[in-house]
Structure 1
Amino acid sequence: MEMENRLIAYLFEYDALMNDLLIVQELNLPQCFIAAGYIRNYVWDRLHGWGPRETHDDIDVVFYDADEPFEERDRRLTQTLIAATGNRKWSVKNQARMHIRNNAEPYRSTADAMSRWPETVTAIGARRTGDGRIELCAPHGLEDLFGMVVRRSPFFTDKDDYLERVRKKGWKAKWPRIDIIED
């Protein structure tokens, strides 16, 4: 609970992210979170003693709606966010269909889908609730985030793909204090 409170406090201190969480909340999508690099990178910047650097390539918005798993809907939602903010980094994905791309069994929820992402430290999301609180989704916990550890998710079985992804991301060059676990 201490790490959850710490992350929530960090998020409340980042005005741009809080504004983005509010805009996403207004979409009223089920099980919807801003996730992955936007949050992870911001926390790593803080832990390195830096301010927000916007080192994320995109702003991942994930939700789960098995009744409307259509890619066209995701494109429309992405364009809605771009139009609302002027930021072209938005990427909206309904996790109810992402199992197809990943050649996996259907996911049961946003948290289930996130638990299968390549790294535990990437599987972290946040959303604003109707009463202004922040709710987190972190199926592998927050220990790796605050410990600055990159490790393969226990449900991501392709070790070579994981290692290639981590190499391409160049995280160690951006955050020299992180530890990358190769197995």
Structure 2
Amino acid sequence: MSDLEARLADIVRANPDLMHVLTTVRGLALNEWRVFSGAVYQAVWNHVTGRPAGYGIKDYDLGYFDADTSWDAEDVVIKRVAGAFEPPFCDIVEVRNQARVHLWFENRFGEPYDALPDTDTALSRFVAPAFAVGIRLEDDDSFSVAAPFGLDDMFAMVLRPNPHRSLAGGWHKAVASARDRWPELRIET
């Protein structure tokens, strides 16, 4: 585990809401699951800036991978995850089968999206390297971290576009939303 991964693990362990989500999801034994995006980078930004652990966190994005790409199969998992939580978590843990993303992404975001071979590959397509971090709480209570661009941007509070894709249509909206909550962010384009 790198120094930044160890630092991330310490931040996550000190965040009771995020630990609750991770512990609960671990018990569901979903295939290739990860909690990613805002639940992770925002927890770090709050720690770095001295804000409370849950500040600015709107939801907990949960990805998993199931070769059954039917809506019915995903809906079963969505209901199972929601049923594992009490309010407010049953309403703010948002689960998506990463094997299905290519089926709806273009209609929702206006850009093509190739099918994914696994959950971790999804991270490489996120709009910014700082957003592209996923974590999983393993059975032995260790953390598995997936971060195709590393953790430097997240800890440095740098937002820059993903260098492996064109500028996302929602880039400016994502930057404005993040900067409203964390004005310390440094934006690089």
Cα distance change, pair 132–151 in 1 and its aligned pair in 2 (3 A): same
Aligned residue number for residue 125 of structure 2? 116
Structure 1 stretches of at least 4 aligned residues deviating more than 6 Å after TM superposition? none
| 1:163 matches 2:172 | yes
Structure 1 vs Structure 2 CA RMSD = 1.7
Paired-residue identity, %? 26
Deviation at 1:130, TM superposition (A): 1.4
Q: 1:91 to 1:159 in 2, by over 3 A?
A: closer
Aligned with 2:94: secondary structure? strand
8 Å CA contact 1:121, 1:145 repeated in 2: yes
**Which stretches in structure 2 are left out of the alignment for 5+ residues?**
106-111
Answer yes or no: is 1:174 the counterpart of 2:186.
no
Corresponding letter in the other structure for 2:147? A
Q: Give the TM-score taking structure 2 as reference length.
A: 0.86
Contact kept? 2:46, 2:55, Cα under 8 Å: no
1:93 aligns with 2:96: yes
Q: Output one character per residue of 1:35-69: Cα deviation in whole Å (capped at 9) or x when no partner.
A: 11011111101111122134222211011222x12
Say which is worse superposed, 124-133 or 154-163, in terms of deviation. Answer: 154-163
Gaps of at least 5 residues in structure 1 are: none
- Scaled by the length of structure 1, what TM-score is found? 0.89
- Separation (CA, whole Å) in 2 of partners of 1:99 and 1:13: 35
**1:116-135 to 2 correspondences below 5 Å:** 116-135=125-144
Instruction: Give the corresponding residue for 2:16.
Output: 15
Structure 1 pair 104–15 and aligned structure 2 pair: CA distance change class (3 A):
same
Distance change >3 Å, CA 85–CA 160, structure 1 → 2: closer
1:137-152 paired onto structure 2 within 5 Å: 137-152=146-161
**When the two structures are aligned, how many residues end up with a matched partner?**
179
Contact residue 38 and residue 54 of structure 1 kept, 8 A: no
Answer with 108-117 or 68-77: which moved more: 68-77
